[in-house]
Amino acid sequence: MGEYAAMYLINWNPELLKMGFDQNKIGAIMERFLPEKMRRDSEKKLKKNEIEQFQREYNKQLNLIKEFKITLPKVRRLLANIPTYMIFDDHDITDDWNITESWKAKVMSSSLGKHVIANGLTTYWAFQGWGNDPNRFNDSFIQKITNYTTDYQIKSSNYQEWMNSLFDFKQWFYIAPTNPKTVILDTRTQRSYPKTKAHLLNYGFIDNQFQAPNLLSDEGWNLVSSHLLANGWSEGSPLIIVSAAPLLGIGLIDTFLSEVIQPLSQFNSSIGTTFDLEWWKFNERGYEGLQEKLGLWNPSTCIILSGDAHMAFSYQAKIVDETIPLYQFTSSPIKNVTFDGLRGAIMKSALILNEYIGNHSFRIQNKQIEYNVFENGSLIETVNNIGFLKFTENEWNHTYLNSNGIPINRKDRI
């Protein structure tokens, strides 16, 4: 748990980084680590160029940390002066958290696995979740966390109560008191999974295949609906939905992933995790379930805010018998390496082909999806950015800002 807490403190507190540099705790790591590595690898006859390469990589990362330290006070000032709402995705806990039913079953059957996930959830609650809607966490929930984190005895009733309270909790989602209302979905802990089917390959059966998850179960949707109505939202009003995973992506990429990559993942589950086949579209029941729920809610307009690790894009459509205008705005991390490795190369190729074809719209389930194109003609923006959505009484304005706060090429009006 201390490592998770340290991650939050280092990321949000410039004084700790300053202390590390001032006391040579950070810069000295190389001097401490490299001699040990050289001793360990002495039998392998570590070559000089390998040591130099290791030194260059370390210096590169050290310079990035120094840049981060310089900009961190501005981030802290921003977060201290505006209301900020947060929700976890997988990397707040661990990569590919609950990506498949088999992944979840393996982790939950392991004492260490459950312990690590519970540690991550506890620190998420303390540093992010608690502030979103404090009333969602009753005295009993807080007391069980307090009891365990006071003594940290794993062979105790406090330990079991602490763990059970986290894994039994089903209300990490919440409603932000914005105008219009914003529903922030928990698409990690309330998933459901399709039934696994065995496939024959090389005269054997593959049981450990990838099945795209339904990001929100029926029970999860029912909880969200009741809470939304209890918070004063009414049918016919506009609605904002925050979903970590986009509803749809770029048409050609979606087609390639769903018709080529997803079938291959039936025989090798690592393909599904490599390409992160977790968007709503990759589980048909979940994708249709979201639209069914919107049909029942019947908002006048629906905006979905999402993120993607590599690119930003937006589109508009009409869903539920083409009666509800839907807009999706997806932004990338403000700092992130985009399109690296094999997955990146494949995605880049698909994007280049999409640009060559000039396809700025596509149909899915008889619904016309229209992309909002950047001024340079591209459907996406791969430069790191953050989405900026501004509300006025009669108009909503959306644009993307780069890491310096400068708008990128386009502004969408609704």
* Per-residue pLDDT tens digits for 272-329: 556 566 778 777 788 888 888 999 999 999 999 998 877 778 888 877 677 888 898 9
With residue 218 as reference, give the H or E element that holds it: helix 218-230
Q: Which residue has the higher pLDDT, 275 or 160?
A: 160
Q: Which residue has the higher pLDDT, 241 or 285?
A: 241
On the question of pLDDT at 185 being above 50, the answer is yes
Enumerate the β-bridge partners of residue 139. Answer: none
Average per-residue pLDDT for the chain: 81
Domain range annotation of the chain:
2-75, 171-413
Dihedral-angle region of residue 233 (phi above 0 means left; psi in -120 to 50 means alpha; beta otherwise): beta
Strand, coil or helix: 249: coil
Enumerate the β-bridge partners of residue 2. Answer: none
300: Cα separation from own chain's centroid: 27
Q: Could you tell me the two tokens for 142? A: 């807080």
209 CB neighbour count, 10 Å cutoff? 20
Residue percentage of the chain with pLDDT more than 90: 37
- CA quadruple 184, 188, 192, 193: dihedral positive or negative? positive
- Closest alpha carbon to 214 in 364, 98, 129: 98
On the question of pLDDT at 156 being above 90, the answer is yes
Which amino acid is it at 189?
A: T
On the question of pLDDT at 199 being above 50, the answer is no
Residue pair 359/277 in contact by the 8 Å Cβ criterion: no
Lowest mean pLDDT among 170-174, 179-183, 397-401: 397-401
Report the pLDDT value the prediction gives residue 186, as an integer from 0 to 100.
97
Q: How confident is the model at residue 408 (pLDDT cuts 50, 70, 90)?
A: confident
Q: How confident is the model at residue 168 (pLDDT cuts 50, 70, 90)?
A: very high
On the question of pLDDT at 412 being above 50, the answer is yes
Q: Which residue has the higher pLDDT, 356 or 117?
A: 117
